[in-house]
Structure 1
Amino acid sequence: MTVQISDTGKIRTLALNRPERLNAFDIRLVADLGVALRNSAEDADVSVVVLTGTGRAFSSGADLKEVAERVAHPVSPREAKSAAFVELIDTLAEFPKPLIMAVNGLGVGFGMTILGFADLVFMSSEARLKCPFTAIGAPPEAASSYLLPMLLGRQNAAWALLSSEWISAAEAREIGLVWKVCEPADLLATAHRHAEILADKPQQILGTVKRLLNAPHREQIAAAAARENQAMAELLGTGANAEALTAFLRR
Protein backbone atom coordinates (compact mmCIF):
# COMPACT_ATOMS: atom_id res chain seq x y z
CA MET A 1 0.00 0.00 0.00
CA THR A 2 1.81 3.14 -1.20
CA VAL A 3 -0.67 5.50 0.49
CA GLN A 4 -1.81 4.79 4.04
CA ILE A 5 -5.34 6.06 4.70
CA SER A 6 -6.82 6.72 8.14
CA ASP A 7 -9.90 8.61 9.28
CA THR A 8 -10.46 10.46 12.54
CA GLY A 9 -13.90 12.00 12.62
CA LYS A 10 -14.22 14.15 9.50
CA ILE A 11 -10.45 14.29 8.95
CA ARG A 12 -8.74 11.91 6.53
CA THR A 13 -4.99 11.46 6.75
CA LEU A 14 -3.09 10.27 3.69
CA ALA A 15 0.50 9.16 4.33
CA LEU A 16 2.92 8.56 1.46
CA ASN A 17 4.24 5.09 2.20
CA ARG A 18 7.43 4.14 0.35
CA PRO A 19 9.81 4.79 3.26
CA GLU A 20 12.49 2.52 1.79
CA ARG A 21 12.64 4.91 -1.20
CA LEU A 22 12.12 8.07 0.91
CA ASN A 23 8.56 8.19 -0.46
CA ALA A 24 9.80 8.83 -3.99
CA PHE A 25 7.02 9.06 -6.55
CA ASP A 26 7.00 6.12 -8.93
CA ILE A 27 4.11 5.36 -11.30
CA ARG A 28 2.19 3.49 -8.63
CA LEU A 29 2.47 6.16 -5.93
CA VAL A 30 1.46 8.90 -8.39
CA ALA A 31 -1.63 6.91 -9.38
CA ASP A 32 -2.49 5.81 -5.82
CA LEU A 33 -2.28 9.34 -4.42
CA GLY A 34 -4.51 10.60 -7.22
CA VAL A 35 -7.10 7.92 -6.46
CA ALA A 36 -6.93 8.60 -2.71
CA LEU A 37 -7.46 12.33 -3.24
CA ARG A 38 -10.36 11.82 -5.65
CA ASN A 39 -12.02 9.36 -3.29
CA SER A 40 -11.58 11.82 -0.43
CA ALA A 41 -13.13 14.59 -2.52
CA GLU A 42 -16.18 12.43 -3.21
CA ASP A 43 -16.60 11.08 0.34
CA ALA A 44 -19.31 13.06 2.11
CA ASP A 45 -17.92 11.98 5.49
CA VAL A 46 -14.56 13.69 4.84
CA SER A 47 -14.29 17.45 5.40
CA VAL A 48 -10.50 17.97 5.59
CA VAL A 49 -7.52 16.02 4.25
CA VAL A 50 -4.05 15.93 5.83
CA LEU A 51 -1.16 14.73 3.64
CA THR A 52 2.11 13.59 5.23
CA GLY A 53 4.85 10.99 4.78
CA THR A 54 6.00 7.86 6.58
CA GLY A 55 9.56 7.33 7.75
CA ARG A 56 12.17 10.08 7.64
CA ALA A 57 11.00 11.79 4.46
CA PHE A 58 7.96 13.66 3.29
CA SER A 59 8.95 12.81 -0.29
CA SER A 60 12.22 12.72 -2.19
CA GLY A 61 10.35 13.63 -5.38
CA ALA A 62 10.32 11.65 -8.61
CA ASP A 63 11.82 8.17 -8.38
CA LEU A 64 14.93 8.85 -10.46
CA LYS A 65 15.71 5.15 -10.76
CA GLU A 66 12.40 4.61 -12.53
CA VAL A 67 12.87 7.74 -14.65
CA ALA A 68 16.37 6.69 -15.69
CA GLU A 69 15.22 3.19 -16.59
CA ARG A 70 12.37 4.55 -18.70
CA VAL A 71 14.71 6.87 -20.56
CA ALA A 72 17.19 4.02 -21.12
CA HIS A 73 14.42 1.71 -22.35
CA PRO A 74 11.93 3.79 -24.36
CA VAL A 75 9.64 0.79 -24.82
CA SER A 76 8.62 1.29 -21.19
CA PRO A 77 5.36 3.22 -20.65
CA ARG A 78 6.78 6.75 -20.39
CA GLU A 79 3.38 8.08 -21.46
CA ALA A 80 1.65 6.30 -18.57
CA LYS A 81 3.71 8.14 -15.97
CA SER A 82 3.21 11.43 -17.77
CA ALA A 83 -0.55 10.94 -18.00
CA ALA A 84 -0.81 9.87 -14.35
CA PHE A 85 1.26 12.84 -13.21
CA VAL A 86 -0.81 15.29 -15.29
CA GLU A 87 -3.96 13.78 -13.79
CA LEU A 88 -2.56 14.12 -10.26
CA ILE A 89 -1.73 17.79 -10.81
CA ASP A 90 -5.25 18.38 -12.12
CA THR A 91 -6.65 16.62 -9.05
CA LEU A 92 -4.58 18.77 -6.71
CA ALA A 93 -5.52 21.97 -8.53
CA GLU A 94 -9.22 21.11 -8.43
CA PHE A 95 -9.33 19.56 -4.95
CA PRO A 96 -12.53 20.93 -3.40
CA LYS A 97 -11.80 20.50 0.30
CA PRO A 98 -9.22 22.00 2.67
CA LEU A 99 -5.88 20.26 2.07
CA ILE A 100 -3.30 20.43 4.85
CA MET A 101 0.25 19.17 4.35
CA ALA A 102 2.49 18.09 7.23
CA VAL A 103 6.11 17.95 6.10
CA ASN A 104 7.66 15.39 8.43
CA GLY A 105 11.07 15.14 6.75
CA LEU A 106 12.95 16.08 3.62
CA GLY A 107 10.95 17.28 0.65
CA VAL A 108 12.77 17.26 -2.69
CA GLY A 109 11.47 18.15 -6.15
CA PHE A 110 7.79 17.24 -6.23
CA GLY A 111 8.12 16.74 -2.48
CA MET A 112 8.53 20.52 -2.33
CA THR A 113 6.51 21.77 -5.30
CA ILE A 114 3.40 19.84 -4.19
CA LEU A 115 3.21 22.27 -1.26
CA GLY A 116 1.99 24.91 -3.71
CA PHE A 117 -1.38 23.14 -3.74
CA ALA A 118 -1.81 23.09 0.04
CA ASP A 119 -4.15 25.40 1.91
CA LEU A 120 -1.99 25.14 5.04
CA VAL A 121 1.52 23.72 5.43
CA PHE A 122 3.01 22.57 8.73
CA MET A 123 6.68 21.57 8.76
CA SER A 124 8.96 19.78 11.18
CA SER A 125 11.76 22.00 12.43
CA GLU A 126 14.19 19.26 11.36
CA ALA A 127 12.85 18.94 7.80
CA ARG A 128 14.46 20.49 4.72
CA LEU A 129 13.26 21.29 1.21
CA LYS A 130 14.96 21.48 -2.17
CA CYS A 131 14.06 21.98 -5.83
CA PRO A 132 17.02 20.22 -7.52
CA PHE A 133 15.88 20.85 -11.09
CA THR A 134 18.89 22.81 -12.34
CA ALA A 135 21.22 20.25 -10.74
CA ILE A 136 19.65 17.40 -12.76
CA GLY A 137 19.04 19.31 -16.00
CA ALA A 138 15.26 19.35 -15.63
CA PRO A 139 12.66 22.14 -15.73
CA PRO A 140 10.26 22.96 -12.89
CA GLU A 141 7.08 20.89 -12.60
CA ALA A 142 3.70 20.83 -10.84
CA ALA A 143 2.98 24.40 -12.02
CA SER A 144 5.72 25.58 -9.66
CA SER A 145 6.91 28.16 -12.20
CA TYR A 146 3.61 29.94 -11.46
CA LEU A 147 2.77 28.86 -7.90
CA LEU A 148 6.13 29.57 -6.27
CA PRO A 149 6.44 33.18 -7.51
CA MET A 150 2.84 33.76 -6.44
CA LEU A 151 3.43 32.32 -2.97
CA LEU A 152 7.01 33.36 -2.26
CA GLY A 153 7.60 36.43 -4.42
CA ARG A 154 9.71 36.52 -7.57
CA GLN A 155 13.18 36.53 -6.01
CA ASN A 156 12.55 33.84 -3.40
CA ALA A 157 11.02 31.64 -6.09
CA ALA A 158 13.90 32.34 -8.45
CA TRP A 159 16.41 31.28 -5.79
CA ALA A 160 14.49 28.11 -4.97
CA LEU A 161 14.09 27.08 -8.62
CA LEU A 162 17.49 28.21 -9.95
CA SER A 163 19.91 27.38 -7.14
CA SER A 164 19.05 23.75 -6.23
CA GLU A 165 20.01 24.72 -2.65
CA TRP A 166 18.44 23.39 0.55
CA ILE A 167 15.80 25.47 2.32
CA SER A 168 15.43 25.02 6.08
CA ALA A 169 12.11 24.98 7.89
CA ALA A 170 12.79 28.44 9.32
CA GLU A 171 13.60 29.80 5.85
CA ALA A 172 10.51 28.14 4.37
CA ARG A 173 8.34 29.87 6.95
CA GLU A 174 10.10 33.20 6.46
CA ILE A 175 9.46 33.21 2.70
CA GLY A 176 5.84 32.11 3.05
CA LEU A 177 5.93 28.50 1.82
CA VAL A 178 5.13 27.13 5.28
CA TRP A 179 2.54 28.43 7.73
CA LYS A 180 3.85 26.92 10.98
CA VAL A 181 7.04 25.16 12.03
CA CYS A 182 6.64 22.50 14.72
CA GLU A 183 8.83 20.27 16.84
CA PRO A 184 8.95 16.87 15.10
CA ALA A 185 6.96 15.10 17.82
CA ASP A 186 4.22 17.76 17.68
CA LEU A 187 3.85 18.00 13.89
CA LEU A 188 0.88 15.73 13.23
CA ALA A 189 -0.92 16.68 16.43
CA THR A 190 -0.64 20.36 15.52
CA ALA A 191 -1.80 19.76 11.96
CA HIS A 192 -4.76 17.71 13.19
CA ARG A 193 -5.69 20.27 15.81
CA HIS A 194 -6.06 22.89 13.09
CA ALA A 195 -7.80 20.39 10.82
CA GLU A 196 -10.38 19.81 13.57
CA ILE A 197 -11.15 23.52 13.68
CA LEU A 198 -11.85 23.48 9.95
CA ALA A 199 -13.76 20.19 10.04
CA ASP A 200 -16.12 21.67 12.62
CA LYS A 201 -17.38 24.13 9.97
CA PRO A 202 -20.16 23.23 7.50
CA GLN A 203 -18.67 21.32 4.58
CA GLN A 204 -20.64 23.35 2.03
CA ILE A 205 -19.15 26.66 3.13
CA LEU A 206 -15.65 25.15 3.33
CA GLY A 207 -16.06 24.06 -0.29
CA THR A 208 -17.36 27.47 -1.35
CA VAL A 209 -14.44 29.32 0.25
CA LYS A 210 -11.94 26.88 -1.27
CA ARG A 211 -13.51 27.33 -4.71
CA LEU A 212 -13.36 31.12 -4.43
CA LEU A 213 -9.74 31.03 -3.26
CA ASN A 214 -8.73 28.88 -6.22
CA ALA A 215 -10.83 30.49 -8.94
CA PRO A 216 -8.37 33.29 -9.89
CA HIS A 217 -5.53 30.80 -10.39
CA ARG A 218 -7.00 27.81 -12.25
CA GLU A 219 -6.21 28.96 -15.78
CA GLN A 220 -2.71 30.10 -14.84
CA ILE A 221 -1.95 26.79 -13.12
CA ALA A 222 -3.09 24.81 -16.15
CA ALA A 223 -1.07 27.00 -18.52
CA ALA A 224 2.08 26.79 -16.38
CA ALA A 225 1.79 23.01 -16.09
CA ALA A 226 1.40 22.70 -19.87
CA ARG A 227 4.52 24.81 -20.48
CA GLU A 228 6.49 22.77 -17.96
CA ASN A 229 5.34 19.47 -19.48
CA GLN A 230 6.49 20.64 -22.90
CA ALA A 231 9.87 21.63 -21.50
CA MET A 232 10.18 18.27 -19.75
CA ALA A 233 9.41 16.42 -22.98
CA GLU A 234 12.20 18.38 -24.68
CA LEU A 235 14.81 17.99 -21.93
CA LEU A 236 14.19 14.52 -20.46
CA GLY A 237 17.03 12.21 -21.33
CA THR A 238 19.10 14.84 -23.11
CA GLY A 239 22.15 16.96 -22.23
CA ALA A 240 22.62 17.62 -18.54
CA ASN A 241 19.57 15.53 -17.67
CA ALA A 242 21.00 12.47 -19.43
CA GLU A 243 24.28 12.93 -17.57
CA ALA A 244 22.49 13.24 -14.22
CA LEU A 245 20.36 10.14 -14.81
CA THR A 246 23.36 8.12 -15.97
CA ALA A 247 25.30 9.13 -12.87
CA PHE A 248 22.32 8.20 -10.68
CA LEU A 249 22.09 4.71 -12.20
CA ARG A 250 25.83 4.19 -11.69
CA ARG A 251 25.43 5.01 -7.99
Structure 2
Amino acid sequence: MTLQITDEARVRTITLDRPEALNAFNEALYDATAEALIAAAEDPDVAVVLLTGNGRGFSAGTDLLEMHQLATNPDFARGKHGFLGLLDALVDFPKPLVCAVNGVGLGIGMTILGYADLAFMSSTARLKCPFTSLGVAPEAASSYLFPQLLGRQDAAWVLLSAEWVSAQEALEMGLVWRVCEPDDLLPEARRHAELLARRPISSLVAVKRTMTEPLRSEIRAARERENAAFAELMGGPANLEALTAFAEGREPDFTALPPGW
Protein backbone atom coordinates (compact mmCIF):
# COMPACT_ATOMS: atom_id res chain seq x y z
CA MET A 1 0.00 0.00 0.00
CA THR A 2 1.37 3.41 -0.99
CA LEU A 3 -1.54 5.62 0.10
CA GLN A 4 -4.01 5.93 2.94
CA ILE A 5 -7.34 7.45 1.88
CA THR A 6 -10.08 8.47 4.32
CA ASP A 7 -13.26 10.52 4.00
CA GLU A 8 -14.85 12.68 6.69
CA ALA A 9 -17.10 15.74 6.51
CA ARG A 10 -16.70 15.96 2.69
CA VAL A 11 -12.89 16.15 3.07
CA ARG A 12 -10.85 13.36 1.48
CA THR A 13 -7.51 12.94 3.21
CA ILE A 14 -4.79 11.42 1.02
CA THR A 15 -1.77 10.34 3.03
CA LEU A 16 1.43 9.38 1.23
CA ASP A 17 2.42 6.09 2.83
CA ARG A 18 6.00 5.02 2.11
CA PRO A 19 7.38 6.10 5.49
CA GLU A 20 10.44 3.86 5.18
CA ALA A 21 11.45 5.97 2.14
CA LEU A 22 10.25 9.30 3.58
CA ASN A 23 7.35 9.00 1.12
CA ALA A 24 9.63 9.34 -1.90
CA PHE A 25 7.72 8.97 -5.14
CA ASN A 26 8.40 5.82 -7.11
CA GLU A 27 6.31 5.00 -10.18
CA ALA A 28 3.74 3.18 -8.02
CA LEU A 29 3.23 6.18 -5.74
CA TYR A 30 3.02 8.61 -8.67
CA ASP A 31 0.31 6.39 -10.18
CA ALA A 32 -1.61 5.94 -6.93
CA THR A 33 -1.59 9.66 -6.11
CA ALA A 34 -2.68 10.65 -9.62
CA GLU A 35 -5.49 8.09 -9.49
CA ALA A 36 -6.57 9.35 -6.05
CA LEU A 37 -6.76 12.95 -7.27
CA ILE A 38 -8.69 11.95 -10.39
CA ALA A 39 -11.14 9.93 -8.29
CA ALA A 40 -11.61 12.79 -5.81
CA ALA A 41 -12.21 15.23 -8.65
CA GLU A 42 -14.98 13.00 -10.00
CA ASP A 43 -16.60 12.13 -6.66
CA PRO A 44 -19.63 14.38 -6.02
CA ASP A 45 -19.37 13.76 -2.28
CA VAL A 46 -15.82 15.14 -2.00
CA ALA A 47 -15.47 18.91 -1.63
CA VAL A 48 -11.84 19.27 -0.54
CA VAL A 49 -8.69 17.16 -0.63
CA LEU A 50 -6.18 17.27 2.22
CA LEU A 51 -2.75 15.89 1.26
CA THR A 52 -0.14 14.94 3.84
CA GLY A 53 2.50 12.31 4.56
CA ASN A 54 2.89 9.42 7.00
CA GLY A 55 5.91 9.37 9.29
CA ARG A 56 8.83 11.79 9.35
CA GLY A 57 8.52 12.91 5.75
CA PHE A 58 6.01 14.79 3.66
CA SER A 59 7.82 13.52 0.57
CA ALA A 60 11.51 13.09 -0.19
CA GLY A 61 10.76 13.72 -3.86
CA THR A 62 11.46 11.28 -6.65
CA ASP A 63 12.95 7.98 -5.49
CA LEU A 64 16.57 8.48 -6.55
CA LEU A 65 17.40 4.78 -6.68
CA GLU A 66 14.56 4.29 -9.15
CA MET A 67 15.57 7.49 -10.97
CA HIS A 68 19.04 5.98 -11.43
CA GLN A 69 17.46 2.90 -12.98
CA LEU A 70 15.34 5.08 -15.27
CA ALA A 71 18.44 6.99 -16.37
CA THR A 72 20.56 3.91 -17.03
CA ASN A 73 18.07 1.20 -18.07
CA PRO A 74 15.99 1.96 -21.19
CA ASP A 75 13.85 -1.13 -20.51
CA PHE A 76 12.77 -0.01 -17.03
CA ALA A 77 8.97 -0.32 -16.77
CA ARG A 78 7.28 3.04 -16.22
CA GLY A 79 3.93 3.50 -14.52
CA LYS A 80 0.59 4.36 -16.10
CA HIS A 81 0.71 8.02 -15.01
CA GLY A 82 4.19 8.64 -13.65
CA PHE A 83 5.49 12.05 -12.70
CA LEU A 84 3.95 13.84 -15.68
CA GLY A 85 0.58 12.21 -15.08
CA LEU A 86 0.60 13.37 -11.46
CA LEU A 87 1.26 16.92 -12.64
CA ASP A 88 -1.63 16.65 -15.10
CA ALA A 89 -3.88 15.56 -12.23
CA LEU A 90 -2.70 18.49 -10.10
CA VAL A 91 -3.19 21.05 -12.87
CA ASP A 92 -6.65 19.71 -13.65
CA PHE A 93 -7.79 19.18 -10.05
CA PRO A 94 -10.91 21.37 -9.83
CA LYS A 95 -11.51 21.44 -6.06
CA PRO A 96 -9.58 23.04 -3.18
CA LEU A 97 -6.30 21.25 -2.43
CA VAL A 98 -4.96 21.69 1.11
CA CYS A 99 -1.42 20.47 1.85
CA ALA A 100 -0.16 19.69 5.35
CA VAL A 101 3.64 19.45 5.25
CA ASN A 102 4.38 17.21 8.21
CA GLY A 103 8.09 16.65 7.60
CA VAL A 104 10.87 16.86 5.07
CA GLY A 105 9.87 17.86 1.54
CA LEU A 106 12.29 17.60 -1.37
CA GLY A 107 11.73 18.09 -5.08
CA ILE A 108 8.10 17.32 -5.84
CA GLY A 109 7.62 17.34 -2.05
CA MET A 110 8.24 21.08 -2.31
CA THR A 111 7.15 21.99 -5.84
CA ILE A 112 3.72 20.41 -5.29
CA LEU A 113 2.99 23.39 -3.03
CA GLY A 114 2.73 25.49 -6.17
CA TYR A 115 -0.60 23.74 -6.73
CA ALA A 116 -1.89 24.00 -3.16
CA ASP A 117 -4.75 26.37 -2.51
CA LEU A 118 -3.79 26.39 1.17
CA ALA A 119 -0.51 25.04 2.58
CA PHE A 120 0.19 24.33 6.25
CA MET A 121 3.64 23.36 7.50
CA SER A 122 5.00 21.86 10.69
CA SER A 123 7.46 24.13 12.48
CA THR A 124 9.99 21.28 12.41
CA ALA A 125 9.63 20.51 8.69
CA ARG A 126 12.13 21.56 6.03
CA LEU A 127 11.94 21.93 2.27
CA LYS A 128 14.46 21.74 -0.54
CA CYS A 129 14.52 21.93 -4.33
CA PRO A 130 17.62 19.79 -5.01
CA PHE A 131 17.70 20.22 -8.79
CA THR A 132 21.14 21.80 -9.20
CA SER A 133 22.63 19.32 -6.73
CA LEU A 134 21.27 16.54 -8.96
CA GLY A 135 22.49 18.14 -12.18
CA VAL A 136 18.97 18.60 -13.57
CA ALA A 137 16.41 21.35 -14.21
CA PRO A 138 13.32 22.55 -12.31
CA GLU A 139 10.07 20.60 -12.48
CA ALA A 140 6.32 20.91 -12.04
CA ALA A 141 6.25 24.43 -13.55
CA SER A 142 8.09 25.66 -10.45
CA SER A 143 10.16 27.94 -12.70
CA TYR A 144 6.91 29.84 -13.30
CA LEU A 145 4.84 29.21 -10.16
CA PHE A 146 7.57 29.94 -7.61
CA PRO A 147 8.40 33.44 -8.91
CA GLN A 148 4.64 34.11 -8.82
CA LEU A 149 4.33 32.87 -5.23
CA LEU A 150 7.64 33.92 -3.71
CA GLY A 151 8.96 36.76 -5.84
CA ARG A 152 11.85 36.45 -8.24
CA GLN A 153 14.79 36.54 -5.84
CA ASP A 154 13.42 34.10 -3.27
CA ALA A 155 12.44 31.78 -6.12
CA ALA A 156 15.88 32.14 -7.66
CA TRP A 157 17.55 31.22 -4.36
CA VAL A 158 15.29 28.23 -3.79
CA LEU A 159 15.72 26.86 -7.32
CA LEU A 160 19.41 27.69 -7.85
CA SER A 161 20.94 26.94 -4.46
CA ALA A 162 19.48 23.52 -3.57
CA GLU A 163 19.63 24.69 0.06
CA TRP A 164 17.17 23.84 2.83
CA VAL A 165 14.24 26.18 3.54
CA SER A 166 12.89 26.27 7.09
CA ALA A 167 9.22 26.52 7.95
CA GLN A 168 9.64 30.14 9.02
CA GLU A 169 11.44 31.00 5.79
CA ALA A 170 8.71 29.25 3.77
CA LEU A 171 6.11 31.32 5.63
CA GLU A 172 7.97 34.58 5.07
CA MET A 173 8.42 33.76 1.37
CA GLY A 174 4.70 33.04 0.96
CA LEU A 175 5.13 29.39 0.02
CA VAL A 176 2.97 28.27 2.96
CA TRP A 177 0.01 29.98 4.60
CA ARG A 178 0.38 28.80 8.21
CA VAL A 179 3.14 27.25 10.34
CA CYS A 180 1.93 25.01 13.17
CA GLU A 181 3.48 23.04 15.97
CA PRO A 182 3.78 19.39 14.91
CA ASP A 183 0.85 18.13 17.00
CA ASP A 184 -1.36 20.98 15.77
CA LEU A 185 -0.61 20.60 12.05
CA LEU A 186 -3.24 18.09 10.97
CA PRO A 187 -6.01 19.39 13.28
CA GLU A 188 -5.45 22.94 12.03
CA ALA A 189 -5.26 21.93 8.37
CA ARG A 190 -8.36 19.76 8.78
CA ARG A 191 -10.27 22.55 10.55
CA HIS A 192 -9.75 24.85 7.57
CA ALA A 193 -10.44 22.07 5.05
CA GLU A 194 -13.72 21.22 6.76
CA LEU A 195 -14.72 24.87 6.85
CA LEU A 196 -14.23 25.04 3.07
CA ALA A 197 -16.05 21.74 2.64
CA ARG A 198 -19.19 23.23 4.18
CA ARG A 199 -19.47 25.59 1.20
CA PRO A 200 -21.24 24.53 -2.03
CA ILE A 201 -18.94 22.41 -4.16
CA SER A 202 -20.18 24.20 -7.28
CA SER A 203 -19.02 27.53 -5.83
CA LEU A 204 -15.67 26.13 -4.69
CA VAL A 205 -15.04 24.78 -8.18
CA ALA A 206 -16.09 28.06 -9.79
CA VAL A 207 -13.80 30.13 -7.56
CA LYS A 208 -10.82 27.87 -8.17
CA ARG A 209 -11.44 27.80 -11.92
CA THR A 210 -11.59 31.58 -12.17
CA MET A 211 -8.38 31.89 -10.13
CA THR A 212 -6.37 29.25 -11.98
CA GLU A 213 -7.58 29.53 -15.58
CA PRO A 214 -5.31 32.53 -16.38
CA LEU A 215 -2.29 30.48 -15.23
CA ARG A 216 -2.91 27.38 -17.33
CA SER A 217 -1.18 28.45 -20.55
CA GLU A 218 1.85 29.71 -18.59
CA ILE A 219 2.03 26.47 -16.58
CA ARG A 220 1.88 24.45 -19.80
CA ALA A 221 4.64 26.53 -21.40
CA ALA A 222 6.83 26.31 -18.28
CA ARG A 223 6.40 22.53 -18.15
CA GLU A 224 7.43 22.24 -21.79
CA ARG A 225 10.57 24.31 -21.18
CA GLU A 226 11.41 22.35 -18.03
CA ASN A 227 10.81 18.98 -19.68
CA ALA A 228 13.11 19.89 -22.55
CA ALA A 229 15.84 21.03 -20.17
CA PHE A 230 15.35 17.96 -17.94
CA ALA A 231 15.59 15.61 -20.94
CA GLU A 232 18.80 17.33 -22.02
CA LEU A 233 20.40 17.11 -18.58
CA MET A 234 19.15 13.73 -17.32
CA GLY A 235 21.79 11.11 -17.94
CA GLY A 236 24.40 13.80 -18.61
CA PRO A 237 27.72 13.97 -16.75
CA ALA A 238 26.44 16.07 -13.82
CA ASN A 239 23.28 14.00 -13.31
CA LEU A 240 25.12 10.68 -13.52
CA GLU A 241 27.73 11.89 -11.02
CA ALA A 242 24.96 12.98 -8.63
CA LEU A 243 23.06 9.70 -8.93
CA THR A 244 26.19 7.58 -8.68
CA ALA A 245 27.27 9.50 -5.59
CA PHE A 246 23.85 8.94 -4.02
CA ALA A 247 23.98 5.21 -4.74
CA GLU A 248 27.50 5.06 -3.26
CA GLY A 249 26.58 7.10 -0.18
CA ARG A 250 28.92 10.01 -0.86
CA GLU A 251 28.72 13.69 -1.79
CA PRO A 252 28.85 14.40 -5.54
CA ASP A 253 31.97 16.06 -6.93
CA PHE A 254 31.12 18.30 -9.87
CA THR A 255 34.58 19.88 -10.13
CA ALA A 256 35.93 17.23 -12.53
CA LEU A 257 33.09 17.50 -15.04
CA PRO A 258 33.78 18.51 -18.66
CA PRO A 259 33.80 22.29 -19.34
CA GLY A 260 30.28 23.73 -19.40
CA TRP A 261 28.86 21.07 -17.10
TM category (shorter chain) comes to over 0.9
**CA offset digits 1:28-72 (Å, max 9, x no partner):** 000100000000000011000000000000000000000112222
In the other structure, the counterpart of 1:37 is 37
Worse-matched range after superposition: 49-58 or 236-245: 236-245
**How many pairs align?**
249
In the other structure, the counterpart of 1:167 is 165
The answer as to 2:230 corresponding to 1:244 is no
In the other structure, the counterpart of 1:178 is 176
Secondary structure of the residue aligned to 2:38 is helix
Contact 2:31-2:80 within 8 A present in 1 as well: no
CA-CA distance at 1:199 after TM superposition = 0.6
**CA offset digits 1:222-246 (Å, max 9, x no partner):** 1111111111111111111110011
| Structure 2: distance between partners of 1:147 and 1:65 | 28
Residue type of the partner of 2:17? N
In the other structure, the counterpart of 1:46 is 46
Worse-matched range after superposition: 178-187 or 228-237: 228-237
Secondary structure of the residue aligned to 2:213 is helix
| Structure 1: distance between partners of 2:79 and 2:231 | 12
Q: Map 1:79-94 to 2 at 5 A.
A: 80=78, 84-94=82-92
Query: How has the CA–CA distance of structure 1 residues 82 and 156 changed in structure 2, closer, same or farther, with 3 Å as cutoff?
Result: farther
Give the root-mean-square deviation of aligned CA atoms: 1.1
**CA offset digits 1:165-209 (Å, max 9, x no partner):** 110000000010000000000000000100111011111000000
Relative to its length, the structure with more helix (as a share) is: 1
In the other structure, the counterpart of 1:67 is 67
Contact 1:237-1:245 within 8 A present in 2 as well: no
Contact 1:122-1:181 within 8 A present in 2 as well: yes
Q: Map 1:94-105 to 2 at 5 A.
A: 94-105=92-103
Query: How has the CA–CA distance of structure 1 residues 82 and 227 changed in structure 2, closer, same or farther, with 3 Å as cutoff?
Result: farther
Secondary structure of the residue aligned to 1:50 is strand
In the other structure, the counterpart of 1:119 is 117
CA-CA distance at 1:82 after TM superposition = 9.4
| Structure 1: distance between partners of 2:145 and 2:199 | 27
| Structure 1: distance between partners of 2:37 and 2:146 | 22
Residue type of the partner of 2:243? L
| Structure 1: distance between partners of 2:16 and 2:137 | 24
Residue type of the partner of 1:10? R
| Structure 1: distance between partners of 2:40 and 2:64 | 28
Gaps of 5+ in 1: none
Q: Percent identity?
A: 58
Residue type of the partner of 1:56? R
| Structure 2: distance between partners of 1:109 and 1:229 | 15
Pick from 129, 145, 148 the counterpart of residue 147 of structure 1.
145
In the other structure, the counterpart of 1:221 is 219
CA-CA distance at 1:83 after TM superposition = 5.4
| Structure 2: distance between partners of 1:9 and 1:43 | 14
Secondary structure of the residue aligned to 1:76 is coil
CA-CA distance at 1:76 after TM superposition = 1.3
Query: How has the CA–CA distance of structure 1 residues 10 and 82 changed in structure 2, closer, same or farther, with 3 Å as cutoff?
Result: closer
| Structure 2: distance between partners of 1:81 and 1:157 | 31
Residue type of the partner of 1:2? T
Residue type of the partner of 1:135? S
Secondary structure of the residue aligned to 2:163 is coil
Q: TM-score, normalised by structure 1?
A: 0.97
Gaps of 5+ in 2: 250-261
| Structure 1: distance between partners of 2:88 and 2:217 | 11
In the other structure, the counterpart of 1:16 is 16
Secondary structure of the residue aligned to 1:212 is helix
Residue type of the partner of 2:47? S
**CA offset digits 1:97-129 (Å, max 9, x no partner):** 000000000001110000000000000000000
